[in-house]
Structure 1
């Protein structure tokens, strides 16, 4: 069974881009982050013994998908013909994908996250990321807030001000999705944020946790199954940004690719 058939069997789609949850025109950076987000969910180390076999199988397939889409030549062939080199794919099945994954994504700590947040929020890097997210998602604030690190409904006014200023300065196109967003969408974001805050506080009280790094780590772990999608998305962005050993060089390439 070839890679596309295995993707269909395991993920319900033979489209490699859909498997990673990215756009067909995604930049190299988006593809890498998409791979990281999805692979975090099925990493064999993160499931119980009963799910090990399925997780290992899906994890290997994701590695193969990323190997195709991260290679300019293989991606071009796939885009044009809708096929992959099955001979090379067969050889890749024997690769140690766990070792490969760890080479791409180093582990981070809660302290790393806090330190990075202090440097990132309000920086030129955040400003560029906000503008890029606005362009990538056509002004959709839901997706912008999901994409930008540390963005949440409470910080939306500041992010909106950044975007509005860039629009007025002629740096960004005035998308109607941003300028004429239905009120119900903003209300929905606020409601979800309030519900999530209540969940977090409830879990913290139940576990008797405080605000120390170890307590925060324990809280994240305790809520991992219920909040897996949210936490994986956040940590994936953090690790791909903060722990990439060649971050600066790749970031320039990624942003050029997005323009």
Structure 2
């Protein structure tokens, strides 16, 4: 059987984008993220209870391999067909090795290094300006969605956004400029709670000042699982840009 037939039998759809859980308009990074998330669910090591896990994992590798090559993706988008004879989907490829080449493990130190270079950077500023627009100026949503940010970062984030408003780079949205005092108070209580948790964690782990940043990351992993997952996803995009050897 061909790739499209395998997708239909294993995933209930012959639409490559639907198999990865991403829309047709997805960017290369979004397709990559869809492959990563979907393949984790069926990886043989993570889904030993699924007798078809290996076949699903291999098929997902082929799907991503097709959509990651611009020429092949264009042919599929226009005609709905896949070149089964191409090296991209050949049966002899080690799909587990291919996956590990694309997604080497992100370590805690990678995250710490990323935070140190990201905070205060032009990239962070542009991300915050985008979040301000996407979240319509709601600070709760902005802080929850921003990378490497917790309640303690609010004064710094607010300063960046206010400077952009004053400079004409952002509109003055009422949700930001006239925020309800109770929302501010709730965030302050959350910041106080997380600060206390961080201090307690440092005591439990006997951490010194050199390891403070690591403790913050660990604390965020426990108390802000969704944001930490977002950080991991972004780290993977930044540190896992390796391409298969043929495409270099």
Instruction: Give TM-score, length-normalised by structure 2.
Output: 0.60
Cα pair 1:37 1:236 within 8 Å, conserved = no
Structure 1 residue 40 corresponds to structure 2 residue 37: no
**How many residues get paired?**
223
Q: 2: distance between equivalents of 1:66 and 1:143? A: 32
Q: Deviations over 1:160-217 (max 9, x none)?
A: 7656755675656x6x9x88xxx9xx89xx8xx99xx7xx99xx8xxx767679x97x
Q: 1: distance between equivalents of 2:2 and 2:228? A: 32
Gapped regions of structure 2 (runs ≥ 5): 244-248
Per-residue deviation, 1:123: 0.9
Q: Specify the structure having the higher radius of gyration (Cα).
A: 2
Question: Matches of residues 42-121 of structure 1 in structure 2 within 5 Å?
Answer: 42-45=42-45, 47=46, 49-51=48-50, 53-81=51-79, 83-88=80-85, 91-121=89-119
Higher relative contact order (CA 8 A, sep 6+): 1
Q: 2: distance between equivalents of 1:60 and 1:34? A: 15
Per-residue deviation, 1:100: 1.2
Q: 2: distance between equivalents of 1:88 and 1:143? A: 47
Per-residue deviation, 1:96: 0.9
Gapped regions of structure 1 (runs ≥ 5): 247-259
Q: 2: distance between equivalents of 1:140 and 1:42? A: 38
Instruction: Determine the structure 2 residue equivalent to 1:249.
Output: none
Partner SS, residue 49 of structure 2: helix
Instruction: Determine the structure 2 residue equivalent to 1:253.
Output: none
Per-residue deviation, 1:113: 0.9
Instruction: Determine the structure 1 residue equivalent to 2:122.
Output: 124
Question: Matches of residues 73-222 of structure 1 in structure 2 within 5 Å?
Answer: 73-81=71-79, 83-88=80-85, 91-131=89-129, 148-151=146-149, 155=153, 162=160, 166=164, 171=169
Per-residue deviation, 1:92: 2.9
Per-residue deviation, 1:152: 5.5
Q: Deviations over 1:133-176 (max 9, x none)?
A: 677x686979877765335676577657656755675656x6x9
Q: 1: distance between equivalents of 2:18 and 2:141? A: 17
Per-residue deviation, 1:17: 2.6
Per-residue deviation, 1:116: 1.3
Instruction: Determine the structure 2 residue equivalent to 1:236.
Output: 233
Q: 1: distance between equivalents of 2:103 and 2:39? A: 11
Instruction: Give TM-score, length-normalised by structure 1.
Output: 0.58
Cα pair 1:145 1:151 within 8 Å, conserved = yes
Instruction: Determine the structure 1 residue equivalent to 2:246.
Output: none
Per-residue deviation, 1:39: 2.6
